[in-house]
Amino acid sequence: MCSMRYPSWEEFIADWEEFIKGSFGDRPMFPTLAPETPTFMSMPEAKSPEDLEGADAVIIGAPYVATTKETYAGVDRNEWLSAPKRVRQQSARYQSGYIQEFGLDVFDHLKVVDYGDAPIPAEVMRDQSAENILKAQAAVELKVGHVLDAGAIPIVIGQNSPCGSYAIAKPIAERTNGPVGCISLDTHWDIQPIDFLSKDPRIAGSASWKHKMYEFHENMHPQHLVEIGERGMLEKKELVESYIDQGARFISSWEVRDGLGMKGVARELDRAYDGTKAVYVHFDMDVMGGAGPAPGDILGEAVEPIGLSDFEIIKIANEVGKRGVTGMSFICIPPGSAVVYRVIVYVIMYMLAGVVMGRQSGTSLL
């Protein structure tokens, strides 16, 4: 397994002062949520639901890993748990919301705030009983619900299900009067009938959350699912073919590279919007595999060949932003690499740029 050491906060600050100040001049120090945790892109912190008024998008952290062991997928559990903090740390290096490729400053058009981390109970990391997992899920649901009720897009930086996936889909489905579409990037379908960790039918776990999403919510159906990135020999034939038979659009990473291309992928995204009132967008970052800016082995046992590249993932984010996003989430963020955390920053910012583009052109589908 690839061994990478993420810099300490003190090292990060020292490098930040040398690089940012040395290259671009003085800039005010970023606001922080907690020691070693700046707000995302130095945006204002929202401490209560009242602070969400007027927001267009809201960042929420969901540091949860589905294990009580010291490692997950062969990688230190604390490395996974650090993802929300480290994504925020890496976002602090950027000067503004100005994206050069588009000639657009996101923050000139959208109000973005950071709502901190969901208060996931510490005991769930010691005892992953179904009851504790449901408490952790509820902590994320509550914050996501606050954001949806404020009319903003919740963007949840998590690590495992249900806290980084179903906990976002559920409040969206409950608040939508009509069908809800889903666009999901992943290496795994996550359509097993039962959570392998808890064996409890109430839990929308790491390998089962998508199955539970459709089982629990009548206004969500595979016919409105666009599933992107799976490949290889990881799934049971009958499960995958069942979803395809129900109308899901499956785009393997092989198809992306072997003719469909990114323009074709963009056209296929419309399937999630056709006849729906909301669209939930989910990025499981093990879809990157070894095709991104860091070695594949950084994911430990979760890595698979033929992963999507960082560009392909960021491009899809921009395209869904143009069409509209009700809620967005991340899990399985490859741990320990600064540049991979920057990929998440890009995914969020290029998605938000897409939101601006869609609104300006009048082509948003939501």
Distance CA 210, CA 216 (A): 10
Q: What is the helix (H) or strand (E) element at residue 239, kind and residue range?
A: helix 237-245
Q: What is the pLDDT of residue 247?
A: 98
Q: Do the bridges between strand 98-99 and strand 104-105 make them parallel or antiparallel, or are there none, so unpaired? A: antiparallel
DSSP per-residue string spanning 177-236: SS-EEEEEE-SS----SS-TTT--TT---TTTHHHHHHHH-TTEEEEEEEEE---SS-S-
Q: What is the pLDDT of residue 344?
A: 97
294-298, long-range: CB < 8 A, 24+ apart? 294/2, 294/4, 294/334, 294/337, 294/339, 294/340, 295/2, 296/2, 297/1, 297/2, 298/1, 298/2, 298/4, 298/75, 298/334, 298/335, 298/336, 298/337, 298/340
Distance CA 87, CA 343 (A): 9
Token couple for 264: 């074709």
- Residues 6+ positions from 284 with CB-CB distance below 8 Å: 165, 184, 185, 186, 187, 188, 190, 330, 331, 332
> 166-175 and 130-149 are packed helices; what angle lies between their axes, rounded to 10 degrees?
50
Neighbours of 236 (CB within 10 A): 11
CA dihedral 292→230→260→166, nearest 10 degrees, is: -90
End-to-end alpha-carbon separation of the chain, Å?
Answer: 43
Distance CA 63, CA 164 (A): 8
Q: What is the helix (H) or strand (E) element at residue 294, kind and residue range?
A: none
Token couple for 205: 């776990």
Amino acid identity for residue 285 in this structure? M
Q: Are 64 and 158 in contact (CB under 8 A)?
A: yes
Tokens 């040398």: give the residue.
18
What CATH superfamily classification does 30-361 receive? Ureohydrolase domain (3.40.800.10)
Domain extent listing, the chain: 30-361
Taking only the tens of pLDDT, the chain with its 366 residues reads 444 578 888 877 777 666 655 554 555 577 999 988 999 999 999 999 999 999 999 999 999 999 888 888 888 889 899 999 999 999 998 989 999 999 999 999 999 999 999 999 999 999 999 999 999 999 999 999 999 999 999 999 999 999 999 999 999 999 999 999 999 999 999 999 999 999 999 999 999 999 999 999 999 999 999 999 999 999 999 999 999 999 999 999 999 999 999 999 999 999 999 999 999 999 999 999 767 777 777 787 888 999 999 999 999 999 999 999 999 999 999 888 888 899 999 999 999 999 999 999 999 999
Q: What is the pLDDT of residue 73?
A: 82
